[in-house]
Amino acid sequence: MPTYRPGPVSLILAALVALFLLMPLLAVIPVSLTPSRMLAMPTGELSLRHYRSLIEDPRWLQSILLSIRIGIVSSAISTVLALCFSLGVWMFQPRFTAALVGFVLLPMVVPPVVSAITLYFLLTSISGFSSFFGYDTWLGVAMAHSVMTVPFATVLILVSLSQLDRRIDLAARGLGATVWERATRIIMPNIKFGIITAALLSFVLSWEEIGVTLFITSVNAITLPRLMWMGLRDNIDPAIAALSVILIIITVLVLAVRSVMTRQSAGH
């Protein structure tokens, strides 16, 4: 327990920072309720027309469905690849582990814009051979997102493996379990929370990915962030405010549920 509590000056400064952090999230609420067709504060009457246009305009629905599809596929690819790799690292502790893990983490530390131009190069090269897999296709976007999310999935799975007791694996090995049995029946059930977290994080990262997506799509594979980007750059569409409010509410609810769950599990 810390015995040294922050004083009044610290609290005031922290409150100012907290206000700064929440301000833009609160600001979208009034904008989303404006009756105006353009970005403006509501003057007098409020309207839900921008929420309606999210449902009625097929472009929003299409891009939401596309983002979900890309998120699921890319999360599956990156979770499976990250799981196999991490199991290999943990079970066999090969030489050069540090260098190999460092290589896998590259897409996480290289500036996103450099990864974007790299994946642009890759997908335009593939487009020369194939029309359904390459630049501006949903499969191409899913693969690019897997490249970007696989380091995060690997870190999460490696962290949960590092908390696992090696002796249970040694016992299984001593009793004659094969590599496959050790992996699927001993190790994986014990790190399933880490695997699920990795899959969820990969999905969320793909769902909101914009930096790379901007480089590798033009007119066909319009994900939700890509559509928001178009609405932000050209002529600011207040429907984005309505969408932002919904996304913020979902985030707050998920975080609240998570915090209650961790509190309960800590209480037991």
Query: In terms of CB distance, is 62 or 251 closer to another protein?
Result: 251
Q: Which is nearer to another protein, 72 or 247 (CB)?
A: 247
Q: Which residue has the tokens 């939700």?
A: 224
Q: Does 158 bind another protein (CB under 8 A)?
A: no
Q: Given the rule CB under 8 A, which of 37-45, 53-61, 67-75, 189-197 is the region that contacts another protein?
A: 37-45
Closest distance of CB 4 from another protein, Å: 5
CB of 209 to another protein, least distance (A): 9
Q: How many CA atoms does the CB half-sphere of 66 hold within 13 Å?
A: 23
C-beta of 51: minimal distance to another protein in Å? 16
Q: Which of 68, 164, 188, 247 binds another protein (CB under 8 A)?
A: 247
Q: How far is the CB of 177 from another protein (least distance, A)?
A: 13
Distances (CA, A) of 39 to 28, 30, 183, 239: 10, 10, 54, 9
Segment 41-60, which members bind another protein (CB under 8 A)? 41
Residues 100-119 that bind another protein (CB under 8 A): 100, 103-104, 106-107, 109-119
Is residue 147 within 8 A of residue 72, CB to CB? The reply is no
Q: If binding means CB under 8 A, how many residues of this protein chain bind another protein?
A: 86
Question: Shortest distance, CB of residue 88 to another protein, whole angstroms?
Answer: 3
Whole-number Å distance between alpha carbons of 12 and 15: 5
Q: What is the DSSP secondary structure assignment for residue 44, as one 8-state letter?
A: S
Beta-carbon contacts of 144 under 8 Å, excluding residues fewer than 6 positions away, are 119, 122, 123, 212, 213, 216
Q: Rule CB under 8 A: choose which of 54, 108, 122, 164 binds another protein.
A: 122
Q: Which of 66, 116, 76, 71 is nearest to 224 (CA)?
A: 66
Interface stretch with another protein, choices 1-9, 55-63, 66-74, 127-135 (CB under 8 A):
1-9
Q: From the CB of 39, what's the least distance to another protein, in Å?
A: 6
Query: What is d(CA 34, CA 241) in angstroms, rounded to the nearest whole number?
Result: 10
Site track 227-246 with another protein (rule: CB under 8 A), x = hit: -xx--xx--x---xx--x--
Residue 253, judged by CB atoms within 10 A of its CB (0-12, 13-18, 19+), counts as exposed
Answer for which of 33, 70, 142, 143 binds another protein (CB under 8 A) is: 143
Q: Which residues contact 31 (CB under 8 A, 6 or more apart)?
A: 39, 40, 41, 42, 238, 241
Chain positions 187 to 226 lying near another protein, rule: CB under 8 A, are 204, 208, 210-211, 214-215, 225
Confirm if 212 and 225 have CB atoms less than 8 A apart. no
CB 194 to another protein: min, Å:
14
Count of positions (residues) in the chain: 268
| 63-102: contacts with another protein (CB under 8 A) | 81-82, 84-85, 87-89, 91-92, 94, 100
